[in-house]
Chain A
């Protein structure tokens, strides 16, 4: 049998509109059971007509249902059942739906609060990161400014016998009175010792403070010493000393 032709013949519509004889009806039912395509087509037509009918119905007069319920026996109704029960059902459904929605809103709300707090804390972290980067950037761009300033001069400090391979530098700008130290490749100091930087003015060492190795950016700002022509680094007791221990001189060099 050609299924497409059968569907196109309109017999399915006739079937659903109740126009077929009982024999013809039985035949349609048999074909629908046998061919899934016919069954599917029939379902679709049924559904369309059903929706059309449900949508365009006419409400029956009040009391229609009550009398029927009185005629039948069984649970679920009772004699006091009346047509107005419809709104009770509606109310019950509405309550369930409302409760469901309320719970849904509540749980969404809780999630939203949690999410908001999380976002707020993320935002705070980002803002802090941002400030930190901003400071670093400002510092770096200052360093670049200083380094690229023609007035900036470098003092290259060479390693002594204690550390022949060591090299460190200071960059000095007299105009802005800024000094930056590049600790270079000084060996890691013992835990109870600190490196201390000195500026020599007319041969006299002036304390420029202790410093840590591995500062981000490689350069660190150190105090400015007026008139220093030579710079040196010694290894001192942790925290530094007022005068350098010259036996512990690691690097030394003049401003070029």
Chain B
């Protein structure tokens, strides 16, 4: 099943890349449809203000549109490349003067906390994902969330969860291994439903 998802996703990516390279806007629409939510979540986990995250997503889409020729499929999957652009851009936004000025007036810590709690709830309401996550221990889930969506380093994760760095590394590896095994089936089913 994993290879089925692999093929489905690879076919999609290839189609999108082809359209983007041909400067066809429908490539952006497809990209947005398939990967927009995932990229947006990467942004919202780091940038709690929805409006700022939305603008950041638009900028990310522009970056992908403008830099598609730089994507090299020998170096990795298309989504990984986009996710990296997104993460890097989130860091740029958070470091920007404009953002820091805006953040002072926004009482950021509370917002971060609330927003995180909210999104976590959304996430758990999703039954397909809940089934997948049942296979991960709560610790493993938390680690993947912090590392992947929040973009914490392993060291930051170790401090946040108050567990040794070595344990973070082991659990992250184990969690990814579990995901590899189970997302094959669930992922494909969900993708089929989304189509």
Interface on A for B, CB 8 Å cutoff?
10, 13-14, 16-19, 29, 32-33, 42-61, 64-65, 67-69, 71-78, 81, 85-86, 89, 93
Contact = CB atoms under 8 A, between A and B. Distances in A.
Nearest to B35: A54
B187 A51 contact: yes
B119 interface: yes
Q: Among A19, A59, A68, A89, which residue has the most Cβ atoms of chain B within 10 A?
A: A68
Given A57-B36, A59-B36, A64-B32, A13 B176 contact: yes
Contacts of A67: 58
B21 to A, nearest CB: 11
A74 B25 contact: yes
Contacts of A14: 154
A58 B41 contact: yes
Interface in B44-64: 44, 50, 54, 57-58, 61-62
Contact of B80 (A10, A16, A33, A76): A16
B92 to A, nearest CB: 13
Interface in B177-195: 179-180, 183-184, 186-187, 190-191, 195
Contacts of A81: 25, 29
B148 interface: yes
Interface residues of B, number: 68
B148 A58 contact: no
A89 B152 CA distance: 37
B40 A58 contact: yes
Interface string B67-87: 000000011110110011001
A53 B77 contact: no
Given A56-B129, A72-B65, A13 B172 contact: yes
A80 to B, nearest CB: 12
Contact of B151 (A18, A53, A85): A18
B54 A53 contact: no
A42 B35 CA distance: 20
Nearest to B51: A61
Contact of B179 (A33, A48, A60, A76): A48
Given A19-B154, A58-B122, A60-B40, A72 B147 contact: no
Contacts of A17: 147-148, 154, 172
A45 B180 contact: yes
A53 B79 contact: yes
B94 to A, nearest CB: 14
A67 B32 CA distance: 12
Contacts of A46: 76-77, 79-80
B26 interface: yes
A165 B20 CA distance: 99
Q: Among B126, B128, B179, which residue has the most Cβ atoms of chain A within 10 A?
A: B179
A75 to B, nearest CB: 6
A53 B148 CA distance: 8
